[in-house]
Structure 1
Amino acid sequence: MQIFSDRETRGPAARFLILLVGTVLVFGAVTAWVAVTYSSAGTVYWPAYSDMMASMPSPLAWLRWVLGDISEVAFYKHELASLGLLLGGALGYWASRYAQTWQGFSISYGTGLWPWLVSSSLLGLLLSNALWGWTLTADTWQPTFAAFVSLPAAMVLLFGGGWKVTLNGAILGALLVTPSCLLIVNYVCLPLGLPVVIGNVLGMALGSVIAFGLCRALPALVTPRHEQKPPTAPAPPVKTPDYGVIWIARRVLADFSEAPFYGNEWASLGMLAGVLLAFILNPLSPAYGSGVLLQMVAAQALTSLVGVIVWRGEWRTRGWYPTYVPLVSVVPAAVLTYGASPMVMIASAVLGALIAPPLACAIARRVPGYMHPYIGNVLSMAISTLLIVPVIGALVAA
């Protein structure tokens, strides 16, 4: 993979800084807009999720929807969680370059590609909403977030940085991934009463398979591997983790930001801090107004903890293992479908941790080399959710 030299980084780094500052300013403007709009008699009221949907298609509601898409993969759907994820990711990237003692798990797997990755993901998200936002109404939810956590980032990680890959990844994500998710969610999942996460991740897999096939047939879409420049500076020595209690706690935290390809504690802390602040401001604002955010986060942490402990040997052998898979699929789907009872939380967390990661690993090993193996992870999300959520439903009904 392409990792920037110091000379190559100055231009992209400056553009990335401008993008990041612009993103923060947009978030700040939205926050002030929301506060002013929903203030009366000196009292600030942060709007609930239902308020946002009811005010569609107002500009404020649309802007909050698009920004909320950034944290939707974790089922949080809130602009403050999204802001925390981006700022935490930026801190993680800065630490990976200038304060490695504090970097935690190196963001985006130590590739140095996070600026390109987040740029492609954000562009894919904006294009998706521009092209497919018309499908959203005050009464319907649509998976416009899908491109942010799928093909654009995967293409950057597979083919390297640069504007060619960044732009083409964003375009293909908006043209292939988002409509695939829309079709499967609306014409398969909803009619059959299946959790929509199944349609989301199947759409990501389908769109990505088509896109990677196009890149193989039309190599001009990406940067050939032989044209990618190797690192100009030696990589710092990597200490072998002790895989003890501290490592387990850090790994559980990092799993919260694994789905957008960050896998970093700072990014996870930022997102969790943002969504908890949103919950404090209004419990019916994040997590689709379900009011079960705290229980869902606890169950997500539990499934990661069980998975990291059970599959710690795989982490030690392979260096990475998809213990995050049930955190963004099985567990939130079960909690939002059947409620936040201890039985639902524990059963979904344990079954998800035992089934989803090894299934993802088995499928990823069979993905062709010209495709990113994340396809195995999203297929595992679909299969695991399809298998486990009905079991949870039977336990609830018993």
Structure 2
Amino acid sequence: MEQVLILRRSPLPLLILAILAVLLAASLVFGQWPDYAALAASLDQPLSRLRWIIGDISEVAFYKHELPALGLLLGAALAHWAHVRGYRWQGFAICYGTGLWPWLFTSSLLGLLLSHALWGWTLASGTWQPTFVAFVSLPAAMVLLFGGGWRVTLTGALLGALLVTPASLLLVNYLCYPLQLPVVIGNVGGMALASVLAFSLCKYLPSLVRDALPAVTPQAIARKPDYGVAWTLRRVLADFSEAPFFGNELASLGLLLGVLLAYVLAPGAPAYGSQLVIQIVAGQALASLVGVLFWRRQWMARGWYPTYIPIVSIVPAAVLTLGGQWQVVVSSAILGALIAPPLAVAISQRLPGHIHGYVGNVLSMAISTLGIVPLVALLAGGHS
């Protein structure tokens, strides 16, 4: 009965309508979307470049479009507002209940903008470049590790643009492209290498992050999860926004509404024009569901487990590389769900204390993608 009352008090239907209204308004402002190829070919035009930059916010889920990006941010903003006020319908507390979402988002966004200012010229090559990586890596991790405040926020943004983006650019262009590897390996490999360097730098130069503001968790009603069906479905949804360190159902809902609306309005625009949005989203959902169910005891024991990893690495990489056949979708989801999370935990547990555990997650993404995608190709009968 209590869950029914909470659901009735939830503004979820209004949220869905509000997000759709904003996204539709954005569609009117931006006008008719070009397909991805046309967008990539016109990046010398200000509007196309703006679309690319906004699309970077949803790039980590392989959606690459302004509508899922805007939906993600709308949902996240509402989730933070609900968290500050302690509303039960907030879902999983955004940013792990730290109350640091404004600082985290500011640092990530500044890192993204600085990356484009410094490295946006690489897009003139005519090939895809990982300009998005600073938004979902070091800046956010630094805020979560050291706390809020302008010093940490600006340090994270600067190091993200100066270290993470060029590291990923180098790996993508000089490793992934020549060897025909999924580019996600270069993306996350650059995040890991640059982040280890950045965290080590902060250890030996603590003035970079000194005087950080501690996390302030608003007063809320503590409720122990029952890890039942409702919790499982909520956790699967929250996994979709875990990569930018949000981990919240409302943020994920905005992301998914945005990408599905983008696909309906212009199928050739999101997900690099692959027209595989439905297969990608289905595989991502299946991967999270299998992971949450299989690793349920780990969730119960630890309070958090990285079941989101195949959502932003193995599954979309396999589908985009090998095609949208059901064999590819199902095998990549299951293998990713079973292999990647425990590998991430094993790596993270061996990291020094001054390095954020997300480094283990991204290393797991790189290793798992490198090993699983070829295996999926064999299991799927060599389809490509």
Task: Determine the structure 2 residue equivalent to 1:274.
Answer: 258
- 1:69-88: CA deviation from partner (whole Å, max 9, x where unpaired): 00000000000110001010
1 CA distance for matches of 2:268 and 2:276? 9
1 CA distance for matches of 2:227 and 2:90? 17
Task: Determine the structure 2 residue equivalent to 1:57.
Answer: 44
Task: Determine the structure 1 residue equivalent to 2:97.
Answer: 110
SS class of match (2:380): helix
Task: Determine the structure 2 residue equivalent to 1:17.
Answer: none
2 CA distance for matches of 1:29 and 1:171? 33
Indicate yes or no: 2:75 matched with 1:91.
no
Indicate yes or no: 2:365 matched with 1:369.
no
Task: Determine the structure 2 residue equivalent to 1:11.
Answer: none
Shift of 1:220: 0.5
Task: Determine the structure 2 residue equivalent to 1:250.
Answer: 234
2 CA distance for matches of 1:126 and 1:114? 18
Q: Does the CA contact (< 8 Å) of 2:146 and 2:214 recur in 1? A: no
Q: Does the CA contact (< 8 Å) of 2:86 and 2:221 recur in 1? A: no
Indicate yes or no: 2:324 matched with 1:340.
yes
1 CA distance for matches of 2:25 and 2:260? 20
Task: Determine the structure 2 residue equivalent to 1:195.
Answer: 182
Task: Determine the structure 2 residue equivalent to 1:170.
Answer: 157
Shift of 1:139: 2.4
Could you tell me the TM-score, scaled by structure 1's length? 0.88
Task: Determine the structure 2 residue equivalent to 1:292.
Answer: 276
1 CA distance for matches of 2:125 and 2:47? 13
Task: Determine the structure 1 residue equivalent to 2:146.
Answer: 159
Shift of 1:101: 1.1
Shift of 1:57: 1.2
Shift of 1:50: 1.2
SS class of match (1:136): helix
Q: Does the CA contact (< 8 Å) of 2:148 and 2:215 recur in 1? A: no
Shift of 1:34: 2.6
Residue segments in structure 1 that go unaligned for 5+ positions in a row: 1-25, 36-44
Residue segments in structure 2 that go unaligned for 5+ positions in a row: 1-21
Task: Determine the structure 2 residue equivalent to 1:34.
Answer: 30
Aligned partner letter, 2:56 = D
2 CA distance for matches of 1:49 and 1:229? 42
SS class of match (1:137): helix
2 CA distance for matches of 1:71 and 1:133? 17
Aligned partner letter, 1:110 = G
2 CA distance for matches of 1:309 and 1:28? 35
- 1:101-128: CA deviation from partner (whole Å, max 9, x where unpaired): 1110000000000000000000000000
Task: Determine the structure 2 residue equivalent to 1:14.
Answer: none
Aligned partner letter, 2:73 = L
Q: 1:127 to 1:356 in 2, by over 3 A?
A: same
Query: Of residues 373, 385, 391 in structure 1, which corresponds to 2:369?
Result: 385
Aligned partner letter, 2:378 = A
Q: Does the CA contact (< 8 Å) of 2:86 and 2:220 recur in 1? A: no
1 CA distance for matches of 2:372 and 2:233? 26
Q: Does the CA contact (< 8 Å) of 2:98 and 2:215 recur in 1? A: no
Shift of 1:397: 3.8
Query: Of residues 104, 115, 136 in structure 2, which corresponds to 1:128?
Result: 115
Q: Does the CA contact (< 8 Å) of 1:30 and 1:63 recur in 2? A: no
Shift of 1:158: 0.2
Task: Determine the structure 2 residue equivalent to 1:311.
Answer: 295
Could you tell me the TM-score, scaled by structure 2's length? 0.91
Alignment root-mean-square deviation, CA? 1.7
Task: Determine the structure 2 residue equivalent to 1:16.
Answer: none
2 CA distance for matches of 1:90 and 1:351? 33
Aligned partner letter, 2:58 = S
Task: Determine the structure 2 residue equivalent to 1:79.
Answer: 66
Q: Does the CA contact (< 8 Å) of 2:100 and 2:215 recur in 1? A: no
Shift of 1:33: 4.8
Q: 1:279 to 1:153 in 2, by over 3 A?
A: same
SS class of match (1:271): helix
Aligned partner letter, 1:216 = K
Shift of 1:137: 2.6
Q: Does the CA contact (< 8 Å) of 2:99 and 2:218 recur in 1? A: no
Shift of 1:393: 1.5
